[in-house]
Amino acid sequence: MSIELWYWPDIPGRGEFVRLFMEGAEIEYEDMAREQDADALVEHMHALDGIRPFAPPYIVDGDLCIGQTAHILAYLSDKYGLGSGELETDLQLIQLQLDISDLISEVHSVHHPIASSLYYADQMDAAFERAQEFRANRIPKFLIHFDNAMAVHGGPYSLGQQWTHVDTSLFQVMEGLDYMFPNYMKKMQGTWANLEGLQAALPEIDGVADYLASERRMEFNEDGIFRHYEELDEQ
Amino acid sequence: MSIELWYWPDIPGRGEFVRLFMEGAEIEYEDMAREQDADALVEHMHALDGIRPFAPPYIVDGDLCIGQTAHILAYLSDKYGLGSGELETDLQLIQLQLDISDLISEVHSVHHPIASSLYYADQMDAAFERAQEFRANRIPKFLIHFDNAMAVHGGPYSLGQQWTHVDTSLFQVMEGLDYMFPNYMKKMQGTWANLEGLQAALPEIDGVADYLASERRMEFNEDGIFRHYEELDEQ
């Protein structure tokens, strides 16, 4: 039985972290709301009983319904035996995935510093200040952390020659930041060499290569998490 | 061998979620930076090798070093057999704990909407707007979600008569919101009856009662995550 993925159909967003991992690992899944529409997702989510996900993405695997991106990835990695097979390292990979979740939340609040319920246009001044601080302090702090982590097993992947859920997520982070802040990321080129190495190496994985060349791969856009607004980039 | 807890010594912050669970479960631990000071924490953190925590809190348990609050709690709950003993429910509890992490990040960004590196006084205008939106939309959305989850097993705890890491964390969330927004929370009294029931029931647990009466329990303060600024509360 294939995994059901439930996520908003028109943005890569957090769903893309789950999708990219399943594509790389060639796990069979159905992209439910893309086969139907956003209404089907809302309807499905409201019909769930018991302890429900707070928000998409979530997956349904037989009787199990699992929300929270990092949690989904830890579950799938474990189920399909795609971790290190060693407790200490597997815990560290989950920890890194949770660090990535924190970064992604901060990325979203760059263009929505006041309220996710308001339009970007209604919080542009605060977003401008927030973006400056984010580029100056937060991106370097997070990416140095991830770059160091990538060096631990020698690269190019998080476990050396073996890739994990951390690698597909960090690839998506680097692609997203390149889209969001092209000037800034170009200026910083070479600073996070291990992450750039990963970014180059990940598309060599068969499942990833097929996926990136397919229509299933969605482009970043200004309704998602990584958004390009020229005024928020390095000038 | 007891667990080492590493967290900033002068704020409850995220460390308190780990502390409260270990106290409730009567797990032996050492509160390392409170026995020493913040410098000892910084020094210890920088001396760690391999894949390191991004930020405190983290625990050291023999050879294992584990960061990220929700991850630490999932690990401890599993190690000491304090979950449901059933995969589906244990996964749901971790998922809820991750939802709590999301709420806590949003709580922090209420008083620091522009930059965590700037003082509150330098971002008060944005914080004022952010707080209004947070009270109007985000608190209700999160607390209704948690209130519904608490009803699933009949209460007063997340597994009915059995409490888990989710209960100590939701107790801390409710205490924190009462401290941060006393007028708002008073106005909303009765809206989240299951959470209020939990808030009343948790101090009846022996380990929790001992802890809350001890000097180990720290008061909320304006360097932590839940901060009381009168101007951010309901007027």
Confirm or reject contact between B155 and chain A (CB < 8 A). Answer: no
- List the structure tokens of B138: 């985000």
How far, in whole angstroms, is CA A154 from its chain's centroid? 23
From residue A196, alpha-carbon distances to A24, A201, B98, B139 in Å are 18, 9, 29, 39
Q: For residue B15, what are the contacts with CB-CB under 8 A and spacing of at least 6? A: B5, B7, B8, B56, B57
Which residues 57-76 of A are in CB contact (within 8 Å) with B? 63-64, 66-68, 70-71, 75
Residue whose entry in the numeric block shows the structure tokens 């998490």 = A225
Which residues of A, range 161-190, sit inside 8 Å of B by Cβ? none
**Chain B neighbors of A91, CB-CB under 8 A:** 64, 66, 71, 75
CA dist B94 and A71 (Å) reads: 8
Residue B138 DSSP label: I
Question: How distant is the alpha carbon of residue A91 from its chain centre?
Answer: 19
What is the bridge-based pairing of β-strands B3-6 and B29-31? parallel
**Whether A71 and B95 lie within 8 Å, measured CB to CB:** yes
Mean per-residue pLDDT over chain A, rounded: 97
Quick one: B235 exposed, middle or buried, by C-beta within 10 A (0-12, 13-18, 19+)? exposed
pLDDT tens for residues A167-195? 999 999 999 999 999 999 999 999 999 99
Task: Provide φ and ψ at A48, rounded to 5°.
Answer: -70, 140
Angle at A162 between CA A156 and CA A168, to 5 degrees: 70
Residue A133 contacts B where some CB pair is shorter than 8 Å: yes
Residue B229 predicted with pLDDT over 90: yes
The reply to whether residue B75 touches residue A53, judged by beta carbons under 8 angstroms, is no
Number of residues written out for chain B: 235
Maximum pairwise Cα distance, chain A: 51
- Interface ipTM: 0.97
Sketch out chain B's domains with CATH numbers.
87-204 (1.20.1050.10)
The pLDDT assigned to B1 comes to 78
B88 contacts A64? CB cut-off 8 A: yes
Burial of residue A68, with CB atoms counted within 10 A of its CB: 0-12 exposed, 13-18 middle, 19 or more buried: buried
In this predicted structure, the answer to whether residue B214 has a pLDDT above a threshold of 90 is: yes
Output DSSP code: residue B170.
H
- Is residue B228 within 8 angstroms of chain A, CB to CB? no
Q: Residues A188-201, buried b or exposed e (16+ Cβ, 10 A)?
A: beeebebbbbbbeb
Of the pLDDT bands very low, low, confident and very high (cuts 50, 70, 90), residue A203 is very high
With CB atoms and an 8 Å threshold, state whether A152 touches B50: yes
Q: Is A47 on the interface with B (CB under 8 A)?
A: no
Helix residue ranges, H only, chain A: 15-24, 32-35, 38-47, 69-79, 87-111, 124-133, 139-151, 165-180, 182-187, 193-201, 206-212
Is the pLDDT assigned to residue A1 strictly greater than 90? no
Is-contact B73 B80, C-beta < 8 A? no
Return the structure tokens found at A134.
């984010």
Q: What percentage of chain A carries pLDDT values higher than 90?
A: 99
Two structure tokens written together for A190: 């070479």
Upper half-sphere CA count for residue B82 (Cβ side, 13 Å): 21
Check residue A75 and give its pLDDT: 98
Cα-to-chain-centroid distance, residue A158: 16
- A160: which strand partners? A157
Report yes or no: A95 and A80 within 8 Å, Cβ to Cβ.
no
Contacts of A52 in chain B (CB under 8 A): 145, 148-149
Q: What is the pLDDT of residues B133-185, one digit of tens each?
A: 999 999 999 999 999 999 999 999 999 999 999 999 999 999 999 999 999 99
Q: A118-135, pLDDT tens digit by residue?
A: 999 999 999 999 999 999
Q: H or E element: which one contains B99? A: helix B87-111
**CA count, 13 A, side-chain hemisphere, A234:** 14
A2 vs B: CB within 8 A: no
Cβ–Cβ below 8 Å for A109 and B109:
yes
On whether the CB atoms of residues A145 and A152 are closer than 8 A, the answer is no
CA distances B5 to A82, A167, A197, B65, Å, are: 30, 29, 35, 10
The answer to whether the beta carbons of residues A169 and A21 sit under 8 Å apart is yes
Please check whether residue B47 touches A, CB under 8 A. no
Q: ω before B57 within 30° of 0 (cis)?
A: yes
Q: Which residues contact A36 (CB under 8 A, 6 or more apart)?
A: A9
CA distance A80 to A165: 11
Tell whether B133 is within 8 A of chain A (Cβ): yes
CA atoms within 13 A on the CB side of A35: 7
Interface test with A, best of B46, B51, B135 (most A CBs within 10 A): B51
How does the average pLDDT of chain B come out, rounded? Answer: 97
Residue B165 identity (one-letter amino acid): H
